[in-house]
Structures are given as structure tokens and as C-alpha cells.
Structure 1
């Protein structure tokens, strides 16, 4: 399988650290060799987008599937790779739902995107309320505590 980035993140954070992503602003610059402005036609009517990106700064050799404590917290119980959202994933894929502030041609101005400047973007989709959970969301207390300072 070969994936080709549709664009890159410009601006925002340049270094990886957890928490405090609320209102971090960046631009998703779509590839002008692959797309024309028609690719973003109608996107400006959406308040949020879902972004699929590659954790390109994670060494694939560092990815492990065995359980580990979330964020390396020694006081936390280990969880499997599919029970957390960290960057050390089998395919190093990240998914983020962020606010769409403006569409300017092939530049998507966003906030709350937890991807670093230069990150390859693999896909962008408008967020539709109908794709949100239909039932109450349940999660363990450790996840709620972990995310308290994230956004």
C-alpha cells in the first residue's frame, strides 16, 4: 500500500510535547501539484474537519504492540496499543478533529490540530454531526484525567 500526502501542516507547534493544544493555530497547505482550489469547494461551510496524518517523526523501530502505561506514567496500568491514542502506533497514523477557521484556496486555517509543523497530511474530511456518537461515550477515569489538560 502506498499513500501520498495530500498536504502538510504549516505553523503551529514545531516540537512534540503533550497537552495544551487548545487554540494552537496552523495551516494545512494542500499540495498544489495534485489539487486545484476546486478540491476545497464547499468546505468553508463546515465548522470542523477530521484530519488523518502521519506521525512522521516517530521511528518505526520504536513502535511496540505490547501493553504499556499511557504516556509512560509508571503509576498507570498498562493498556494495549489500540486502547490509547499515542503516536507509537503500528502504522503511525494520527487522527484529529479540529476547528476549521477559514479556507483560503488550498490553505485550510485550523485550530486545535494536534500535529506538528511539517507533518504530512493524508486526508481531510468535513466533520458531520451525524458521524458523532449516537450513544453516551464511556471511557475509563485514567483517560478523562489524561485529557484534562490536552485541549
Structure 2
């Protein structure tokens, strides 16, 4: 019900139904409620809901907690949340670990984490892998492979890059 009201733009009713489901202990709904709160400008309440969802085992909420921590400059805590999510098998978390490694100029770490996320099927990570390899390695075949995989998975920037690559004489 909450998502239906949310899609209709009925924020009050959506919040009421999200809250009811969250109070009943539904982990995935707690995560969705956290997203809803964050999108509606309630960062502190969103963080509280993500913490509840993370405690219920929701890996996407662990990643969202990590992102909120990064926004506040809490990079160590963010890393712990990303690692915790990855430990559940949620490979998208490796994308964020790779992004953090790249920000620290740890190219090998960035490529390693991006590879884990890309191998896990994350289209954005596949394209990131291609860009990292293009910038830091001399392996055009591997770059082409990752761009193609990302494009096939629907990543728009990869689709455009593949189109440009195929236009070359």
C-alpha cells in the first residue's frame, strides 16, 4: 500500500503505511521507508530506519548507511557498513569500497573492488571497471569487454561509449 500511495504522490498516506509495515518488523519495507524518508528530506529519520533495516539483515540499508556516513565525513564508519553489506553477499557494496579506494588514490584497490562488484553483475560497476582499466591499464580488449557487458546490462553511459567505439573506422 505504501508504495502505491508514494507513486501517486500521496506522501502522508504513504508514510502512514510505511510506518505500519516497519513497526511490524518487515525488513525490506524498513529499507523502502528509509529511502522514502531520505527522498523527502528526513535524513535523520532515514538513518534511524536504515539502522533498523540493517539490524534485520537488509544489505541495501547497510550501503545506504555507509553513504550517509560518507556525506558526514565518517569514512571509517562508512567502510564498516560497506564491508558488512559485502559480507552478506551484496556485491554492490564493493562498488562503494572501490569508489572510496579511488578517492584515496589506491588504484589497485579501486580496480579490485570494482571487479568484485562488476563480477557480481552490477552494470555501473562494469562500466566503472572499463573506465578504470582504460585510465590505468593497457588492455583495450578488457576495456571493450566491460563496456560491452555494461551496455548489454542497460548502463546508459556504457551504451553511448559502445556506440562511439563501434563508429570508429
Which TM-score applies when normalising by structure 2? 0.19
Specify which structure has the bigger relative contact order, considering alpha-carbon pairs within 8 angstroms and separated by 6 or more residues.
1
TM-score (norm 1): 0.21
Higher strand share: 1
More helix by percentage: 2
State the structure with more CA Rg.
2
